[in-house]
Amino acid sequence: MQGTMMRRAVAGGAALALLAGGGVLAGCGSGYDAASGGGATAEPNGIEKLPAKEIVTTSAAAMATASSVTVSGVFKGDDGPDMSLDLVLGTGVGEGTTSLNGTPIMEFREVDGKIYWKITKEGVEAILGPGDASTAIGGRWVVAPAGADESMFAGPGELGDKDALLASLVQEGGKATVAGTGEVKGTPVVFVKMSGSDGTATLAVQTVCEPYVVQVKGDQAGNIAFSDWNGPVSVTAPAGAVSPEELMKQDGASG
């Protein structure tokens, strides 16, 4: 599942439809802070008592109302190199970086209705192959209206879209099975195994506060953590960004 999600993200794929259904259970309105004991309002939300499908749809509905989330971890991919990511995503605002085998390939920022992204020379070569384009395009900030098609430059796509990224955790038509309860870094959770056409992954949904996903582990993918729910997001637009059309003109002139 995660491999498909990341391929779509790197290719600037379309956002997936967010599952609806289920009301948000009573909680403390944010993620659970295990380091501080979760605070005095870390009440159990009872989600572990629901059937697997209801756990998933209820968690999806809760995440849809969250203002922000931090996402980090490593995707193993199907046959390709390891991809790591570090994202802070809000509603209409966010920033993040992605790397292949430890080498940064893309940085993006979203702010004031615009998406900015910068692909490194190594990133361009990974997408277009070696050539002059890696010199002309690599390392340049590109800007476009939020929601525009950035696929020709491997823009952030659903990778930078909080709702689409969270929605992609859920496979419509897939099978959901409760796999017990436990803890993830001190946070009490219920584990739900999701199986579908895109593979198998296990979601860890916190059983205190709001029923947010705090971890995703896939059979072929790595370990992705979701934290700092509803935390502040502050992003500054980079200077010197050009439009995709302007970048192509400069690339053509340099060639």
pLDDT digits (tens, 9 = 90+) for 145-175: 876 665 445 456 666 788 888 877 766 567 8
Q: How far apart are CA 51 and CA 70, in angstroms?
A: 27
Kindly state whether residue 245 falls inside one of the protein's structural domains.
no
Q: Which of 27-41, 150-164, 171-185, 218-232 has the weakest average pLDDT?
A: 27-41
The Cβ of residue 19 has, within 10 Å, a number of other Cβ atoms equal to: 20
Give the N- to C-terminal CA distance of the chain in Å, as an integer: 39
Q: How far apart are CA 28 and CA 42, in angstroms?
A: 6
Give the residue-averaged pLDDT of 173-183.
90
| Amino acid identity at 103 | T
CATH of the domain at 214: 2.50.20
- Summarised one tens digit per residue, pLDDT across range 54-85 is 999 999 999 999 999 999 998 766 666 778 88
Structure tokens at 235: 């992003």
Cα–Cα separations (whole angstroms), residue 178 to 40, 48, 175, 202, 203? 28, 8, 10, 9, 10
Of all helices (H) and strands (E), which one includes residue 107? strand 103-111
Kindly state whether residue 179 falls inside one of the protein's structural domains.
yes
Asked whether residue 39 carries a pLDDT value surpassing 60, the answer given is no
Kindly state whether residue 235 falls inside one of the protein's structural domains.
no
Closest CA to 92 of 77, 75, 112: 112
The residue with tokens 């199907």 is 78
Kindly state whether residue 241 falls inside one of the protein's structural domains.
no
Residue 185's domain comprises: 2-227
**For the chain, what is the domain count?**
1
Closest CA to 32 of 16, 21, 45, 19: 45
The structure's pTM equals 0.77
Across 76-228, the runs of DSSP E, i.e. the strands, are: 83-90, 94-100, 103-111, 114-119, 141-145, 175-184, 187-196, 199-206, 213-218, 223-227
Kindly state whether residue 251 falls inside one of the protein's structural domains.
no
Kindly state whether residue 240 falls inside one of the protein's structural domains.
no
